[in-house]
Amino acid sequence: MNDITESYCRTADLQHRRRHAQFFTPDLVARWMAEQIRGAQTLLDPALGLGIFPNQADAVSVVGYEIDPVVLRAAALDGVTVRQECFIQADCWGERYDAVLANPPYKNYHDYDITLVDTINSRLGVKLSRQANLSVLFLLKAVSMLKDGGTAAFIVPTEFMDCAYGTEVKRYLQPHLERVVVCQWDVFADALTTACLLVLKKNTSAATVQFQTAPDISHMSAPNVVARSDLNPAEKWRQYWEKCPFKNTATLDTYASVQRGIATGDNKYFCISRRRKEDLGLRHVLPCVSKSAHIKSAHFGESDFALLAERGEPVYLVDMQGYEHEEEVQRYLAHGQELGVHRRYLTRHRQPWYALEQRPVPDYFVGVFSRHGLKVIRNQAKALSLTCFHHVRLADVERRGLLEAWLSTDICKEVLWANRREYGGGLAKFEPSDLARGHVLDLESVTSADCELACRLHRAGNASLLEHLCRRLVDDG
């Protein structure tokens, strides 16, 4: 962190910096990015911040956008034409530049004016989802303002390369992208995201795109060179820098359905303890895991649920729809309205407001967030869960016993892990679609003898030999 950044961070508190999505580019990273556009005469920086990019570049003419007057007062911006307005809303669509350098603001869709997505869609003729991160709006508009043959370097979250809204982003970038470097260190101390460096050339003639990883800015892996025509925007691009080392796999949705856990809109109101259930006289409740930390092992049975209930954990989901005529339910509904539960975001969009999402009892719970590998848990308690887990329900497949044996192994978690979304600090997340398209053992690839052996080992509880067998079945080495 340079002196200007240190001084600013001392005077502008973290709340202010987060509100403006200010995560400052380290000097060495900014220098590397500036080298990618060396020789450009005109430069655009759509998110100026403290002005590190204009100071690292050798451009003759620099135009920058910044909406925060506090950061502008602290910035070093000699010779920069500063436009104090929102870059996305600015009427500058017809301008063209030799180069762009940018660390655009990182904000989720619920933290910015979502109509900005409509602006990008109408001006660029794209169909960007309203769930897009703000950073990709900056990315697309800035690329559109490059001259033909102009170059750009961005530092952005890798998120768009692995999520649903990213399909349209990748489709737009594909004709221009030349290089992707995935940063395997925490570039931004205050941001929980994995960053990547993008190098683009407007309408490039290069037939390939390079994908690399880097433990730091000075050490990058040998590039994986991919033909531009082979890039599929609809697929996760993680596969281009992180190869899956397994064979004989199929996607989980071949054998199972995956749903998000139940979103109540107010967990404290809808999930109650046994003591509170008895005090309120509420009889219509569903067993429900409300926190990921409540399950410690790969099996969750009736005795485990009973222990949680005995400890006073909120493991009963109150079901009131259809029981409104009961006096106890009427009292609890009135209490909910006194608390304003009916005005919460999810509840006010439901009819009636206290209706629960309907879910069949899952065969397995699978963790949503993790830093230390995936949680795959056999649900023998016949409970539901809140959004701390996804629900996996097995289909009626011929080799169900083999699938259950596979799901009990560590190699199963390793194979599924390859389809994660990755954030900063080693945090991984699975959306239901990530899990559904994650890989498991292809049941049809297994011989009858190995299938019988796996089922026998699983029934006998011989985890070590089962692990060895399952690893052999998918080992590509």
Alpha carbon distance, N-terminus to C-terminus of the chain:
43
Which residues are paired to 44 by β-bridges? Answer: 63, 100
Confidence of residue 191 (pLDDT cuts 50, 70, 90): low
pLDDT tens, position by position, 222-239? 999 999 999 999 998 998
Mean pLDDT of 156-178: 94
* Mean pLDDT computed over every residue of the chain: 94
Instruction: Supply the pLDDT for residue 477.
Output: 57
Environment class of 316 (CB within 10 Å of its CB; exposed 0-12, middle 13-18, buried 19+): buried
Cis check for the bond before 352: say yes or no (omega within 30 of 0).
yes
Instruction: Supply the pLDDT for residue 4.
Output: 87
Interhelix angle 400-407/448-460, rounded to 10 degrees, is 60
Q: Is 298 helix (H, G, I), strand (E, B) or coil?
A: coil
CA distances from 226 to 249, 276, 405 (A): 23, 59, 37
Q: Which two tokens stand for residue 78?
A: 């000699």
- Who wins on pLDDT, 243 or 176? 176
pLDDT tens, position by position, 322-370? 999 999 999 999 999 999 999 999 999 999 999 999 999 999 999 999 8
Q: Which two tokens stand for residue 247?
A: 């064979």
CA distance 472 to 205: 44
Specify whether the CB–CB gap between 117 and 137 falls below 8 A.
Answer: yes
> Residue 230: which residues within 8 A CB-CB, separation 6 or more?
none
Confidence of residue 201 (pLDDT cuts 50, 70, 90): very high
Ordered alpha helix ranges (H), 266-381: 267-270, 274-280, 302-310, 327-339
pLDDT tens, position by position, 107-147? 888 889 999 999 999 999 999 999 899 999 999 999 999 99
Which residues are paired to 251 by β-bridges? Answer: 439
Give percent of the chain above pLDDT 70: 98
Specify whether the CB–CB gap between 255 and 394 falls below 8 A.
Answer: yes
Confidence of residue 194 (pLDDT cuts 50, 70, 90): confident
Residue type at 152?
A
Mean pLDDT of 49-55: 93
Q: Is 325 helix (H, G, I), strand (E, B) or coil?
A: coil
With tokens 């596969």, the residue in question is: 239
- Who wins on pLDDT, 7 or 152? 152
Environment class of 310 (CB within 10 Å of its CB; exposed 0-12, middle 13-18, buried 19+): exposed
Low-confidence winner among 109-118, 260-269, 304-313 (lowest mean pLDDT): 109-118
Instruction: Supply the pLDDT for residue 20.
Output: 87
Instruction: Supply the pLDDT for residue 192.
Output: 67
CA distance 313 to 365: 18
